[in-house]
Amino acid sequence: MSSLSSARLRRSIALHLFLTPLALIWLFPLWMMVVFSTMPDNGIFSPGIELLPHGNFVDNFNNLQRDTNFVGAIGISVSVAVTYTFLSVLLTSMAGWALARYQFFGKGVVVAIIFGTITLPYAVVLIPQFIMVARDFQLANTWVALIVPPLFNSLGVLFMRQSFSMMPDDLFDAARVEGVKEWRIFVFVALPLARPMLAALAIILFLASWNNYLWPLLINSQPGSMTAPVALGTLIGLTKVSWGGIMAGAVMLTVPMLIVFVLLQRHFIAGIAAGAVK
């Protein structure tokens, strides 16, 4: 028993010795982003390598806020991301439930089409989507245009389909025998069982909406309706680039997400593992 424990200890030490340098390599650019956010613009491109923070973060943030109203842009990003995540998780769960539990004509074709959409680059549908939303529906510069077009997530539908397919049929059959309606089975039986998968999907969708840049840039041209990534992009001008403000804004966008992921990583990993194994 002791030899087995010592072997596990050696493997653990070797694994940590291998992974620790990789983790430091991954964290180094994030640390340099924090350092650059505390430096003036002329100091960022100085010949020497600075590894310790300076004292200009407040000045950089004040310049960022003056140029972009970044606090308001963060509020828009939070509102859009939360609304998008809730609606997308709901819709993808409903679609995944239908594909996993119901038999209907053309089901295989629908699944094949959903699989096919994953292979399409986003650039293929970007321009037609923009023309339809902005010209045909006249929804440019609205929250509806920011939230509704990306709602359908093919990967989320397939992920929830797999999750619901893992659940025992007897559980739902017993509920139907008791006279429970289908929507109640979905809401009060299936969704609670899929809570880890829903949490993982919600994290993925929230981060996707939080980091989305191209679609909000195209569909919202008014300064007062920009999301935070688009607001940061406006600091890159033809003759001047406010690197200190960009770094300060990037820190404010990145650090909270890292903290949330670290706090919820157990649920995220559990959900991914549960949804990937049948």
Return the CATH number at 79. Answer: 1.10.3720.10
3-state SS string for 124-138? HHHHHHHHHHHHHCC
Distance CA 170, CA 205 (A): 31
Predicted local confidence at residue 278, as pLDDT: 46
What are the backbone dihedrals phi and psi of residue 81, each rounded to the nearest 5 degrees, phi first? Answer: -65, -40
> Does 166 reside within a domain?
yes
User: Please, are residues 206 and 132 in contact by the beta-carbon 8 Å criterion?
Assistant: no
Q: How many CB atoms lie within 10 A of CB 276?
A: 13
> Does 174 reside within a domain?
yes
Predicted local confidence at residue 95, as pLDDT: 92
User: Please, are residues 155 and 89 in contact by the beta-carbon 8 Å criterion?
Assistant: no
> Does 52 reside within a domain?
no
The number of domains in the chain is 1
> Does 122 reside within a domain?
yes
* pLDDT tens per residue across span 35-85: 989 988 777 777 777 888 888 899 989 988 988 889 999 999 999 999 999
Distance CA 245, CA 252 (A): 11
Domain that includes residue 158, residue range:
69-234
Predicted local confidence at residue 267, as pLDDT: 66
> Does 117 reside within a domain?
yes
Q: How many CB atoms lie within 10 A of CB 206?
A: 20
How many contiguous H segments (helices) and E segments (strands) does the chain have? 15, 0
> Does 48 reside within a domain?
no
Predicted local confidence at residue 43, as pLDDT: 77
Predicted local confidence at residue 274, as pLDDT: 57
> Does 221 reside within a domain?
yes
Q: Which residues of the chain have pLDDT under 70?
A: 1-4, 238-239, 267-278
Structure tokens at 109: 């074709």
Distance CA 130, CA 128 (A): 5
Distance CA 184, CA 108 (A): 26
pTM for this entry: 0.85
> Does 6 reside within a domain?
no
- What SS3 class is residue 176? helix
Return the axis-axis angle of helices 243-276 and 154-165, rounded to nearest 10°.
30
